[in-house]
């Protein structure tokens, strides 16, 4: 790359610079698209079984380097080592799952008069994946694995703060035997490298994960060329606890449902809605869970929560929390690093910024509700619609509320959101399109319809 500028990668737990990498310019994007276009033509011409085999080798290479990738994620993103190992394993699993689809990516045969009609699923060409810093490896792989499996080339632009694991994945792809240029990683500034990908006529699809404000710009700019665009954006997800639920279980699960990854999770359950009859009991049960969360060195196996990603993110989170507001507070280290303690606010106005905007930090509000109708109204009272949880022992209520909450990913008596076997994506301003699940590969294809006449030539 031309190295007109560089990106410093900081360890968020210590504020030390751990690496400096060259940043991509628009000219670098042009050159990458040429390489990707050539590689894609060769890749799509390979037998499906050979493409599947190479993706499985890539998955094995990730598995062989799982600990190294995990340690790198701890250093650049401050993720706890346990989470980071899961994230590297998730990349391996996504590649394996996508590899299984290569030989099963079938079109249809449709009954029509006068001939045979078939659909063919063709690759789009070059796909750009623009990733955020909060889950650098899994989110990169959500787009990359199915796109490659469907016969496309991928250019991945990681977030400015977290390019290291992405760069290592590209090396592992080459070592596994994927063709040169098929999977390229271009670290760089969003408005420079990211925007050049969005506006490049040689890029057929943009898979964007990040903030709602940048996602809207990506959609607007991509639409000038009628690009395919998938958007995975922000969230402000409810955790609804009804009085008939197993309150002990709901209170025990609530802390990590918003503190995992220091709350920098688009699915974080940051609005805890509790039915009034069990409100006080729930808070009594929640308090020890918040106060005892082990916050500290993310490389320590016992740590449950690490630092925030950057000084800017720390300042943003601080701006949402009035230090004198009533609630529960956990502990956080002092000194270098971007630390913020686990925080639960009570007595918050349901319309306050902290109750409706995405904080992207370890901060939740608890709001009481009277009945099912009010719970649903509160759950839906944000611009977002990504995830949510419903705690109840009443199956009918679980289904009614699942249908009434306008969000793409709900879980009952659990906080599960993202599983690579199932579709994932947002309602409202949380996104556009779906990723993962059984249809993941199809989202990286065009459907071509071919009709073959069985009529003889006209006499
Ligand atoms: P961000 O929008 O600032 O950046 C995301 C990516 O876009 C980065 O790679 C950035 O460099 C790039 N970018 C920035 N400006 C650009 C431009 N003009 N053109 C093209 N690319 C540009 O988001 P972030 O702060 O890195 O990530 C946090 C956000 O991501 C949160 O809002 C979170 O909810 C969201 N997120 C959503 C999901 C989901 O699946 N719905 C998952 C994880 C994170």
CATH number of 6-233+430-450: 3.40.605.10
Identify the residue whose C-alpha is closest to ligand 1 atom 9. Answer: 159
- Triad 213, 415, 397: Cα angle to 5°: 105
Whether this model's pTM surpasses 0.95: yes
Identify the residue whose C-alpha is closest to ligand 1 atom 15. Answer: 190
DSSP β-bridge partners for residue 271: 238, 365
pLDDT of residue 458: 67
416 band by pLDDT with thresholds 50, 70 and 90: confident
Identify the residue whose C-alpha is closest to ligand 1 atom 37. Answer: 233
Percent of the chain with pLDDT over 90: 98
- Which of 136, 128, 154, 362 shows the shortest CA–CA distance to 268? 362
- What is the best residue among 90, 186, 207, 214 to mutate for testing ligand 1's pocket, by most ligand atoms within 8 Å of CB? 214
pLDDT of residue 457: 75
CA 425–ligand 1 middle distance (angstroms): 15
- What is the best residue among 144, 191, 195, 211 to mutate for testing ligand 1's pocket, by most ligand atoms within 8 Å of CB? 211
Residues 51-105 pLDDT 10s: 999 999 999 999 999 999 999 999 999 999 999 999 999 999 999 999 999 999 9
Kindly state the DSSP code that residue 48 receives in the 8-state scheme: H
The superfamily (CATH) of domain 238-412 is Aldehyde Dehydrogenase; Chain A, domain 2 (3.40.309.10)
Per-residue pLDDT at 271 exceeds 80: yes
DSSP class per residue in 111-141? EETTEEEEEEEEE-SEEEEE--SSSHHHHHH
* Average pLDDT value for residue range 369-390: 98
- Angle between the N-to-C axes of helices 66-77 and 164-176, in degrees from 0 to 180, rounded to the nearest 10: 160
* Average pLDDT value for residue range 37-58: 98
pLDDT of residue 336: 97
Which helix (DSSP H) or strand (DSSP E) does residue 388 occupy? strand 387-391
Residues 308-352 pLDDT 10s: 999 999 999 999 999 999 999 999 999 999 999 999 999 999 999
CA 211–ligand 1 middle distance (angstroms): 4
Q: Which of 160, 232, 358, 435 is catalytic?
A: 232
**Ligand 1 atom at shortest distance from the alpha carbon of 430:** 41
357 has catalytic annotation: no
Per-residue pLDDT at 410 exceeds 90: yes
Per-residue pLDDT at 3 exceeds 90: no
Report how far residue 128's alpha carbon sits from residue 40's, in angstroms, rounded to the nearest whole number: 13
The rounded mean pLDDT for the chain is 97
DSSP class per residue in 170-231? HHHHHHHTPPTTSEEE----IIIIIHHHHH-TT--EEEEES-HHHHHHHHHHHHTTT-EEEE
Per-residue pLDDT at 2 exceeds 70: no
459 band by pLDDT with thresholds 50, 70 and 90: low
The domain spans of the chain are: 6-233+430-450, 238-412
pLDDT of residue 237: 98
Token output for 438: 């059984």
**Ligand 1 atom at shortest distance from the alpha carbon of 215:** 2
- Angle between the N-to-C axes of helices 81-102 and 66-77, in degrees from 0 to 180, rounded to the nearest 10: 130
Per-residue pLDDT at 107 exceeds 80: yes
- What is the best residue among 26, 129, 131, 132 to mutate for testing ligand 1's pocket, by most ligand atoms within 8 Å of CB? 132
The CA-atom distances, in angstroms, between 163 and each of 182, 362, 368, 384 are: 18, 24, 42, 28
Note whether 143 and 435 are within 8 A (CB): yes
194 band by pLDDT with thresholds 50, 70 and 90: very high
């Amino acid at each position: 790359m031309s190295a007109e500028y560089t990106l410093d990668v900081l360890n968020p737990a210590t504020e030390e610079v751990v690496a400096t990498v060259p940043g991509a310019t628009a000219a670098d994007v042009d050159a990458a698209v040429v390489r990707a276009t050539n590689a894609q033509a060769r890749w799509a011409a390979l037998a499906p079984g050979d493409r599947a085999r190479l993706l499985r080798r890539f998955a094995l290479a990730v598995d062989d380097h799982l600990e190294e990738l995990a340690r790198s994620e701890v250093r650049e993103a401050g993720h706890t080592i346990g989470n980071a190992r899961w994230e590297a394993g998730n990349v391996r699993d996504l590649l394996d799952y996508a590899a299984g689809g290569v030989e099963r990516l079938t079109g249809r045969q449709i009954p029509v008069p006068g001939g045979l009609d078939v659909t063919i699923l063709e690759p789009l060409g070059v796909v750009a994946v623009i990733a955020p810093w909060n889950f650098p490896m899994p989110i990169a792989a959500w787009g990359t694995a199915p796109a490659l499996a469907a016969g496309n080339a991928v250019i991945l632009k990681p977030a400015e703060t977290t390019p290291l694991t992405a760069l290592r994945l590209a090396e592992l792809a080459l070592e596994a035997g994927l063709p040169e240029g098929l999977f390229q990683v271009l670290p760089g500034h969003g408005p420079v490298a990211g925007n050049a990908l969005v506006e490049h006529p040689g890029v057929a699809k943009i898979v964007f994960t990040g903030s709602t404000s940048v996602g809207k710009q990506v959609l607007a700019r991509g639409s000038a060329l009628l690009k395919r665009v998938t958007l995975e954006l922000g969230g402000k997800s409810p955790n609804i606890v009804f009085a008939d639920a197993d309150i002990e279980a709901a209170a025990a699960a609530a802390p990590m449902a918003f503190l995992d990854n220091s709350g920098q999770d688009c699915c974080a359950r940051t609005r805890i809605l509790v039915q009034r009859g069990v409100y006080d009991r729930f808070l009594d049960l929640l308090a020890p869970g918040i106060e005892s969360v082990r916050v500290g060195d993310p490389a320590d196996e016992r740590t449950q929560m690490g630092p925030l990603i950057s000084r800017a993110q720390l300042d943003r989170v601080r701006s949402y929390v009035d230090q004198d507001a009533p609630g529960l507070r956990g502990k956080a280290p002092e000194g270098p690093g971007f630390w913020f303690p686990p925080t639960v606010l009570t007595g918050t106005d349901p319309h306050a910024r902290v109750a409706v905007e995405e904080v992207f930090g370890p901060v939740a509000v608890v709001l009481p509700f009277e009945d099912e109708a009010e719970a649903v109204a509160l759950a839906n009272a944000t611009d977002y619609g990504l995830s949510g949880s419903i705690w109840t022992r009443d199956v009918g209520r679980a289904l009614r509320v699942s249908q009434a909450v306008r969000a793409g990913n709900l879980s009952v008596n659990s906080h599960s959101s993202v599983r690579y076997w199932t579709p994932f994506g947002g309602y409202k301003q949380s996104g556009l399109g779906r990723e993962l699940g059984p249809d993941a590969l199809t989202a990286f294809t065009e459907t071509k319809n071919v009709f073959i006449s069985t009529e003889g030539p006209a006499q």
